[in-house]
Homo-oligomer: A and B are copies of this chain.
Amino acid sequence: MSAASSQEALRREVRDWLSQNVDAGWRAAMTDSEQEAFFALQKEWFSELVKAGYATPHWPEGWPGGGRSLAEQKIIYEEVARADAPRLILYFVALYHAACTLFECGSAEQQSRYLPAILEGEIWCQGFSEPNAGSDLASLKTRAVRQGDHYVITGQKTWSTMAQYADRCLLLARTDKGERPQAGLTYLLLDMRARGVTVRPISQITGDDEFAEIFFDEVEVPVEDRIGEEGAGWAVAQTTLASERGLTLVELSQRMRYALPLIVDAMRRSDRLDDAAIRRDFGRLITHVDAACALADRYLLKRISGDEAPGDASIVKLYYARTLREFTALGKRIAGLDGQYHRGFMRGATQETGNWTVDFMNSYNWSIAGGSDEIQRNIIAERMLGMPREPRDWTLKGQGA
């Protein structure tokens, strides 16, 4: 069977499976839902995907569900988007960040200790960001001090997705105040139930609490839970961050495309289906969504063929973030006063739910987190266009480095 026809077969297989297994009522069930219901849905959908072998297509050959090519992974994500299946946000860090870091940088023993538990539903969170560090990872301050066969951790992390539910944490901590700030970071796997760990959910402006702060007060981590060498944490963290390889934005831009009818619904509901001005803006949005999909696809194809260039990923993210803003802003505008009334958010949903004010505010997550739009613009200007970088040592008199 040729690659093309085996891919077509996979697409049909996944599509069939999804059509039988996605509960179309999940959006209604997740609206204004309790945490428990959200938890239950995530767990159930996760275990179904694992059973079907669609949760870990990116894992290596030999692991359950693994060994799929990037092209096949793309097909699975496209079909998941097309079927409007729930997003597995509770397990994302475990399935991608934790697993890929273990595959690429973990020892065989670490892999066999942690990966099977992930398949059984262990929840992970990421401990990279810190207050006041913003997009500047090299300035992290949480400390890990070696004492015998343990590191002792003290400090604070923030913006950790779902940390309040997590069993384990991917932690980046400073073991050394070396000359280059990146050089002194070490990468550890931390048990969230260890003594000295406190989690405080961050209250978001939408009323959601998808993120949390984590406080570490002399938390002990065994040395065998270190990934890579002491001081090599920066490089390991790059592996973590690169782990989803562009698939997320393929999925999300496809989801955005399938969500376009939400705008038409809003037009109908506000009696403006024939408003020429709205139609023109909607047409422009369709084009931008189409282009966001094309950029995400092209990026993944480049990764598949090994042609990725510096800045490519920044273009995809910047364009997606901008288009998502335009999408949600248009919905908000059409909805008018009705869109301003408070409605409960939909847990674990996609970026477009038709709860327009929430969707609009949430769109800022994409232009702020994971390297803000401003950082992406710097990268594009400097690495793609070759414009000069501002010297790092430019500071105002009497201020900082």
Complex CA gap A391/B399 in Å reads 13
Complex CA gap A394/B275 in Å reads 52
Complex CA gap A397/B388 in Å reads 11
Shortest Cβ gap from A385 to chain B (Å): 16
Give chain A's interface residue range (CB within 8 Å of chain B). 10 to 19
Considering only CB atoms, which chain B residue lies closest to A275 in the complex? B276
Complex CA gap A279/B388 in Å reads 44
| Residues on the B chain within 8 Å of A397, using CB | 391
Complex CA gap A279/B278 in Å reads 12
Complex CA gap A394/B396 in Å reads 10
Q: Mark A377-398, 1 if CB is under 8 A from B, else 0.
A: 0000000000010010010110
* Cβ of A342 under 8 Å from chain B: no
| Residues on the B chain within 8 Å of A280, using CB | 277
Copies in the complex: 2
Q: Mark A251-282, 1 if CB is under 8 A from B, else 0.
A: 00000000000000000000000011101100
| Residues on the B chain within 8 Å of A279, using CB | 277
Complex CA gap A279/B394 in Å reads 49
Quick one: which of A39-97 are within 8 Å of B by CB? none
Quick one: which of A352-393 are within 8 Å of B by CB? 388, 391
Complex CA gap A277/B284 in Å reads 13
CB <8 Å contact, A388 and B394: no
| Residues on the B chain within 8 Å of A388, using CB | 396
Considering only CB atoms, which chain B residue lies closest to A395 in the complex? B391
Among A277, A279, A396, max chain B CB count under 10 A is at: A277
Instruction: Show 11 A/B contacts (Cβ-Cβ < 8 Å), sorted by A.
Output: A275-B276, A276-B276, A276-B277, A277-B277, A277-B279, A277-B280, A388-B396, A391-B394, A391-B396, A391-B397, A394-B394
Residue positions of A touching B, CB distance < 8 A: 275-277, 279-280, 388, 391, 394, 396-397
